[in-house]
Amino acid sequence: DIQMTQSPSTLSASVGDRVTITCRASRSISSWLAWYQQKPGKAPKLLIYKASSLDSGVPSRFSGSRSGTEFTLTISSLQPDDFATYYCQQYNDYSPTTFGQGTKVEIK
Amino acid sequence: QVQLQESGPGLVKPSETLSLTCTVSGGSISSYYWSWIRQPPGKGLEWIGYVYYTGTTNYNPSLKSRVTISLDTSKNQFSLKLNSVTAADTAVYFCARGSRELELRDFDPWGQGTLVTVSS
């Protein structure tokens, strides 16, 4: 299996902060990576696909990038609605497709 | 707009079979991959497997010996069966669609999820 290592596990930040979450793949996954946002009691919501493409309707303060096997989700200016848990998913290898362990963004 | 809704028992006894159904509304089962994903309480996401609209399936090797996913195109539904369950199978179970036709990739949309507890 391809292991996806997310960091940090928890992040404390304030409204207006720039926030960065990292996901590292155990081997090459090209750009086949997605980011999701999940709020308590809800299903994950797709934010970014193919490492850096913003899904329809997602605010432009969210962005994604890739450097080799390291992927980054950036929120340029954290908004109250952004406090949630974020997951990455690799889909280069679907045997199985795997998720990172999640990063909880909480209020500082 | 496509919507997915999980249904099935919320309580299953140890060693029995967990059975869930996902009903797809607002669109057809055709041309997409349909997956089950689970999330134990307070933990991360685990992909269980998919069924393609043709009926082809693929399962997570960690669960493969216990899982069956099937399709009912006449009802626009797909189903999950997980046998010989234990407490470790207690989780919120989500159904989800591949985000693009004919492609294995990310998931969108998702169902709201249903909590299944394994307990006697």
- The predicted-structure confidence for B6-16, as pLDDT tens digits, reads as follows 999 999 999 99
pLDDT digits (tens, 9 = 90+) for A15-31: 999 999 999 999 999 99
Query: Cβ contact (<8 Å) for B104 and A91?
Result: yes
Rounded to 5 degrees, φ, ψ at B79 are -135, 155
Give the closest-approach CA distance of A45 to chain B in angstroms: 7
In this predicted structure, what is the pLDDT of residue A69?
97
The average confidence (pLDDT) of chain A is: 97
Instruction: Kindly state whether B52 is in contact with chain A, defined as any CB-CB distance less than 8 angstroms.
Output: no
**Using CB atoms and an 8 Å cut-off, which of residues 20-39 of chain B contact chain A?**
none
Q: What is the mean pLDDT of residues B55-61?
A: 96
Burial class (CB in 10 A: 0-12, 13-18, 19+), A58: middle
Confidence of residue B21 (pLDDT cuts 50, 70, 90): very high
Instruction: Kindly state whether B57 is in contact with chain A, defined as any CB-CB distance less than 8 angstroms.
Output: no
Burial class (CB in 10 A: 0-12, 13-18, 19+), A10: exposed
In this predicted structure, what is the pLDDT of residue B47?
98
Q: What is the mean pLDDT of residues A55-75?
A: 97
In this predicted structure, what is the pLDDT of residue B115?
98
In this predicted structure, what is the pLDDT of residue A21?
98
In this structure, are residues B84 and B15 in contact, taking their beta carbons and an 8 Å threshold? yes
Confidence of residue A83 (pLDDT cuts 50, 70, 90): very high
In this predicted structure, what is the pLDDT of residue B53?
94
In this structure, are residues B39 and B113 in contact, taking their beta carbons and an 8 Å threshold? yes
- Cβ neighbours for A107, distance < 8 A, ≥ 6 positions apart: A12, A13, A14, A83
The average confidence (pLDDT) of chain B is: 96
